[in-house]
Amino acid sequence: MPRVSLRLVTIVSLVAIGFGISIWRVALPWWDEQSNGKITLRFCHWQLEPGVRRALDALSRDYEALHPNVRVKQIAIPGRIYRQWGSTQLVGGQPPDLMQIGLGISRGLFFDDFEPITSHVTAPNPYNAGGPLEGVPWRNTFRDGMRGAFDAKTMECFGASLCNNTARIFCNRELLVKVTGSDKFPTTFAEMRQLNGQLQAYNQEEGTALSLIAGSRFSALIFFRNLAGTQTQKLATRLNPLIDFPIKDKDFNLAYLEGAWDLDDPAIQQGARLTSEAAQMMSPGFSQAEGDQSHLRFAQGQALLMVLSSLQATGIIEGSPFEVTIHRIPQPQLSDPDYGPQMHGPIAEAALRTYGAFGITRSSPHPELALDFLRFITSQESCRKFSRLSRNLPTVIGIEPAEEMRPFLPNMQGYPTGPDLKTSSEVIALVEQTRHLLAPPISSPEQYLATLKVGLRDAMHTDISRIIRGNFFSVRLVEPSIAANIQLSNTQSDNDELISKMSIQLGAQTDIEATAYYTQMRLAKVDRRNP
């Protein structure tokens, strides 16, 4: 009898066990459904923050308690691979019942993948029965009227969301006291600069190498955009004499191609200087660092501050062995001799808006149940619980945010932000490639702007052309839907909802189309001038 080595037996056994576990994991929901009559409802998202996952898990268990025949499974996928993972699931025909829409999922073509729930959002949410929102249309129970879940082209609603965010600075209070002798947090950029100076002195005295801000690629994006937007307020307002408010990003770029401003403009020069100063406050290598690396640096006490969105609050607060305080990003003031002259005022934040709605997938075997679960998690009671556990600001009306969450509330005092260069793909790529010139050891705004100038015109032209093509695509996409609504309205002239939807669709299509023609005309003039 041939001898079988123990090693081979172990390997084969391990493979068999692994295979068995996989089969068991995959077959369990099916088995539950078949043998116990239990239905498994799956939902996926990219919110890896522990507070959000915990809160969604708690709501899932609450739902299971109410519906013993249902098992709810939460699938959290990292944002980096969400699009690939989600697309594979959708193409494979077996996606979760509910998917968080965004990060490339749907890409504007909701109807291919998701069921609209428009007809349901005007009816009350049954899970609000017995409470103050009883009888209130589901849509009106949201602070933003579910605007974040509506597709602007079709005016169809594709889900409901519990997520919103505001950009804030998280501070290690103990370290702040150690460095400055006080827990007073800077409220202006000048004070922030002063704090950085104090930290450098502390580093020299103590022989430490602490950074002011634990930086990452993502946090740099938030931080720099927040600051640079202050420097273009006046320039962008001058470019928009029709309403005297800052011009929008696309028109800002178009104005550059038309020669209405250039990189020698004091607003752009100062914006680059401000960003360079801010880059010097970040930890070394920030532009290559991921969020978890910067979080680790902050949690280990190697940096005093961290810039992130409110959704990540629980992860930061719970993962840090010290008291964390939350603040608005300090901005230059009008009195600032360097940066004040280009400003109209500190940036006013817009009202909270939901994002990343959970949409019901077309191939869900349980669309009714998915809708019911969606209603459950967005009821006032569930949202209160979600908000408490995740430290996310409540998206449903009538819920007062907890005291510790008040720093996240948007501050609407001030003036709208000006545009910055990083708004569309080609220009973003160019800025990203060039931005290292603003950070140490080079830290040269002049070199940065000179390098940027070489490719900026072509990048802007490509982006604007792409925007025009995208606008015309939207116009074509919605044409059959509008045609159908006109046809339906001939026989349903008393259907206010239909008439209103058609009117909004037509208005949106006309706006997009007319703006695309206007932009095309301006770009053609630019091309004639600079062949």
Minimum CB distance to another protein smaller for 33 or for 513: 513
Q: How many CB atoms lie within 10 A of CB 61?
A: 11
Task: Tell me the closest approach of the beta carbon of residue 28 to another protein, in angstroms.
Answer: 34
For residue 336, give the amino acid letter: D
- Eight-class DSSP state of 455: H
Residue with tokens 């009821």: 379
Rounded-to-integer distance, Cα 525 and Cα 492, Å: 46
Dihedral of the alpha carbons of 247, 330, 295, 73, in degrees to the nearest 10: -60
**Backbone phi, psi, residue 33, to 5°:** -65, -40
- Eight-class DSSP state of 93: T
- Eight-class DSSP state of 211: E
Minimum CB distance to another protein smaller for 215 or for 332: 332
Residue with tokens 């290292």: 436
Task: Tell me the closest approach of the beta carbon of residue 108 to another protein, in angstroms.
Answer: 11
> Coil, strand, or helix at residue 381?
helix
Minimum CB distance to another protein smaller for 46 or for 158: 158
Dihedral of the alpha carbons of 484, 488, 493, 496, in degrees to the nearest 10: -70
Rounded-to-integer distance, Cα 377 and Cα 370, Å: 11
Task: Tell me the closest approach of the beta carbon of residue 342 to another protein, in angstroms.
Answer: 16
Rounded-to-integer distance, Cα 215 and Cα 222, Å: 11
Q: Residue 142: name the closest of 372, 379, 369 by CA.
A: 379
Long-range contacts of 178-187 (CB under 8 A, 24+ apart): 178/202, 179/210, 179/304, 183/325, 185/325, 185/327, 186/330, 187/327, 187/328, 187/330
Task: Tell me the closest approach of the beta carbon of residue 529 to another protein, in angstroms.
Answer: 13
Minimum CB distance to another protein smaller for 137 or for 414: 414
Minimum CB distance to another protein smaller for 36 or for 503: 503
- Contact residues toward another protein (CB under 8 A) are 111, 116, 147, 152, 154, 156, 241-245, 344-345, 347-351, 410, 412-417, 472-473, 475-481, 483-491, 500, 502-504, 506-508, 510-511, 513-514, 517-518, 520-521, 524-525
For residue 193, give the amino acid letter: R
Task: Tell me the closest approach of the beta carbon of residue 123 to another protein, in angstroms.
Answer: 18
Residue with tokens 């308690």: 65
Minimum CB distance to another protein smaller for 8 or for 242: 242
Task: Tell me the closest approach of the beta carbon of residue 468 to another protein, in angstroms.
Answer: 12
Minimum CB distance to another protein smaller for 344 or for 435: 344
Q: Residue 394: name the closest of 144, 167, 63 by CA.
A: 144
Structural contact between residues 224 and 275, judged by C-beta atoms closer than 8 angstroms = yes
Task: Tell me the closest approach of the beta carbon of residue 201 to another protein, in angstroms.
Answer: 38
Minimum CB distance to another protein smaller for 130 or for 480: 480
Minimum CB distance to another protein smaller for 221 or for 506: 506
Q: Residue 530: name the closest of 255, 258, 264 by CA.
A: 258
> Coil, strand, or helix at residue 221?
helix
Minimum CB distance to another protein smaller for 231 or for 434: 231
Minimum CB distance to another protein smaller for 299 or for 502: 502
**Residues whose CB falls within 8 Å of the CB of residue 10, separated by 6 or more in sequence, listed in order:** none
- Eight-class DSSP state of 406: G
Minimum CB distance to another protein smaller for 202 or for 473: 473
**Backbone phi, psi, residue 167, to 5°:** -85, 130
Task: Tell me the closest approach of the beta carbon of residue 336 to another protein, in angstroms.
Answer: 19
Task: Tell me the closest approach of the beta carbon of residue 154 to another protein, in angstroms.
Answer: 6
H helix or E strand, kind and range, residue 122: none
Task: Tell me the closest approach of the beta carbon of residue 211 to another protein, in angstroms.
Answer: 31
Task: Tell me the closest approach of the beta carbon of residue 136 to another protein, in angstroms.
Answer: 19
Task: Tell me the closest approach of the beta carbon of residue 475 to another protein, in angstroms.
Answer: 6
